Amino acid sequence: MRSKRCRWCELLPPYVRGVRSAYAMPGGHAERIVHALKYQGWPGVAPAMAKRMARLRFPIDVEEERAALVPVPLSRARERERGYNQSAELARTLALSWGIPVRTDVIVRSRATVSQTQLTPGERLRNVSGAFQAVADRASLRGLHLVLVDDVVTTAATLNACATVLHSGGARILSYVTFGRAPALGDRW
Checking if the pLDDT of 162 tops 90, the result is yes
Correct CATH for 15-181 of 3.40.50, 1.10.1760, 3.80.10, 1.20.140 = 3.40.50
pTM, full prediction: 0.90
Q: Domain boundaries in the chain?
A: 15-181
> pLDDT, tens digit, for every residue of 106-139?
999 887 776 766 666 777 767 667 778 899 988 9
Checking if the pLDDT of 4 tops 60, the result is no
- C-alpha span between 95 and 189 (Å, rounded): 29
For residues 148-176, give the mean pLDDT.
Answer: 94
Which residue, 81, 147, 92, is CA-closest to 115? 81
- pLDDT band of 185, cuts 50, 70, 90: low
Mean pLDDT, the chain, integer: 88
